[in-house]
Amino acid sequence: MSARNRELLGLIPASLLVTAGFAGVFIQRSNVLSNVSLTYGAIFLGLCVAGHVFIRITLPHADPYMFPLVALLASFGIVMVYRISATDARQQAQWFVLGLVLFAVTVIVFRDYRKLEQYRYIIAFVSLGLLLLPRLPGIGYQANGAYLGVRIPGVFVFQPTEFAKIGFVVFLASYLRDTRQVMVMGARRILGVTIPPLKHFGPVVVIWGIGMLILITLHDIGSSLMFYGGLLAVLYVATDRLSFVVVGLLAFGLGAWYLGTHIPHVHDRVEAWLHPLDPTLYARPGGSFQVANSMFAQAAGGMFGQGFGQATLTVPGSHPVAYLLPAPQTDMIYAVITDELGLFGGVAVILTYLLFVARGFKTALLARDSFSTLLAAGLSAVFALQVFVIVGGVTRVIPLTGVTLPFISYGGSSIVANFVLLALLLLISDRARQAT
């Protein structure tokens, strides 16, 4: 069977899921199974098939599993968002369409994505600019103390960091393609640790500098970990030097420790992470209410969950509506998933992400030039880390951060940016698999 036919078949689970999911929510809402659920399913399937046809024409050799996996995640996401808020789901569907359009634009414009290398410094500066936007007075805004978004009142809300993560990886992949040889050569081993010559530390220092800048700019350990981890991943793949990663993580640890002790809101996040069930911390604004309720929601789900549409999200009879779980459709969506579908649902979602990341790394292995390999590995790593950072925050592996769960959480910037990421991975894959 050809790759594209496999891709087409792969869309069946996504369309079944979206139909069954909407049907489930409808039954729960009003005890009726209307044909609206089938309509939603059909529209969604239509969009996916359109995406598929576009790939069939433009990227015939690309990996056949990535797009169906994304469709599965996105369809699951739209059902979850719909279950939480019908208005949000309608917008999410629009963002999905826009994401597909931007996906197509990326594929057409960067057909030869290697020309991105020419613009690497522009890309680097634009990414830096995007990162700094939320700190600009007037348009930047803080969510729970972290600087992650830009808002022009009445026009739009935008999370530039979602795009910056792609820009940084592109820059670094291109930059390290040139410098990696130099950095590896002439390295010495001291006490069993490989130390490159001092004069070649320049690029590494640049990367660490970017990492620290991100940490200081965003005021957020989790999303900085995502960025910085992505950068270190590219560095590691380029040089195969664990020492860089170890030193880099130590530097990050120091920076995170400094922030955790000196910036009040970061300190609060760390405290909430360590002692979520402490009553005083729970009651304090900006305290552990969200983390604790995330745990409560997961505990309510248990092994198999309470079923689609069954989770308690708000306090009944409260005016104005009091949320038991703040930000259920964005940061906390994983907690809602485990509440309704249990441990099994959560594991299914994580494994779907893992499959996607595995295909990304597979693409990196197949790619025949360094830039492509580094780009594919970096994009996959940053994607995986984003999943880790938000799910890890919700499940209390690390302090909670306001990043989205890719393709599932409600949020335009996230959907669109991740479609661009998908486009780049498929472009690399198409080129890598062309000759084989």
Partner 1 sequence: MSGPIIRLFGLIVVLFALLIGWTSRWTVFEASSLNNNQLNRRTLIDEQRIKRGQIIADDGTVLARSVPASGQIWTRFYPTRSLFAQPVGYAIVEFGRSAGLERSRGPELRGLQTGLGSVFGQLGGSQRVGDDVDTTLDPKAQQVATAQLQSASQIGSPKGSVVALNPRTGAVLVMAALPSYDDNRPDATGPTTSTFNRSTQAGYPPGSTFKVLTAVAAIDSGKFTPSSTVNGNSPVTISGVPLSNDGNQSFGTIDLTTALTFSVNTVWAQVAETVGRQTMTDYMRRFGFYSKPPLDYPPDELNASRPYAPNGRPYAPGSPNEDIGRIGIGQGGLQVTPLQMAMVASAVANNGKLMVPHLTSRVVDQDGRTVQTIKPSTYAQVMKPSTAQAVGQMMTHVVQEGTGTAAALTGITVAGKTGTASVGVAGANVTQPWFIAFAPVQNPQVAIAVTVERTQGGFGGTVAAPIAKAVMQTLLAEGK
Contacting positions for partner 1 (CB under 8 A) = 28, 31, 233, 236-238, 240, 277, 279, 282, 292, 295-303, 307, 312, 315-318, 324, 338, 342-343, 346-347, 350, 353-354, 357-358, 361, 364-365, 370, 373-374, 377, 381, 384-385, 387-388, 391-392, 395-397
Closer CB to partner 1, 132 or 355, in the complex: 355
**Cβ partners under 8 Å of residue 129, min gap 6:** none
Question: Is 367 strand, coil or helix?
Answer: coil
Closer CB to partner 1, 4 or 83, in the complex: 83
| φ, ψ at 119 (rounded to 5°) | -100, 20
CB of 222 to partner 1, least distance (A): 13
Query: For residues 319 and 388, what is the distance between their CA atoms, to the nearest angstrom?
Result: 35
The alpha carbon dihedral of 57, 63, 64, 66 has a sign of negative
CB of 338 to partner 1, least distance (A): 6
CB of 388 to partner 1, least distance (A): 5
Residue 302 one-letter amino acid: G
How is residue 230 written in tokens?
A: 């992505």
CB of 262 to partner 1, least distance (A): 27
Q: How close are the terminal C-alpha atoms of the chain, in Å?
A: 15
Closer CB to partner 1, 30 or 199, in the complex: 30
Closer CB to partner 1, 13 or 309, in the complex: 309
**Cβ partners under 8 Å of residue 219, min gap 6:** 145, 146, 147, 259, 263, 265, 266
CB of 270 to partner 1, least distance (A): 17
Residue with tokens 């664990």: 242
Closer CB to partner 1, 9 or 365, in the complex: 365
Beta bridge pairs of residue 323: 314
CB of 74 to partner 1, least distance (A): 20
CB of 139 to partner 1, least distance (A): 34
Question: Is 225 strand, coil or helix?
Answer: helix
> Which helix (H) or strand (E) covers residue 426, if one does?
helix 412-433
How is residue 108 written in tokens?
A: 């057409």
CB of 395 to partner 1, least distance (A): 4
Closer CB to partner 1, 146 or 377, in the complex: 377
Closer CB to partner 1, 92 or 380, in the complex: 380
| Spatial contact of 219 and 265, defined as CB atoms under 8 Å apart | yes
Closer CB to partner 1, 99 or 305, in the complex: 305
Query: For residues 239 and 233, what is the distance between their CA atoms, to the nearest angstrom?
Result: 10
CA nearest neighbour of 16 among 76, 99, 82, 92 = 76
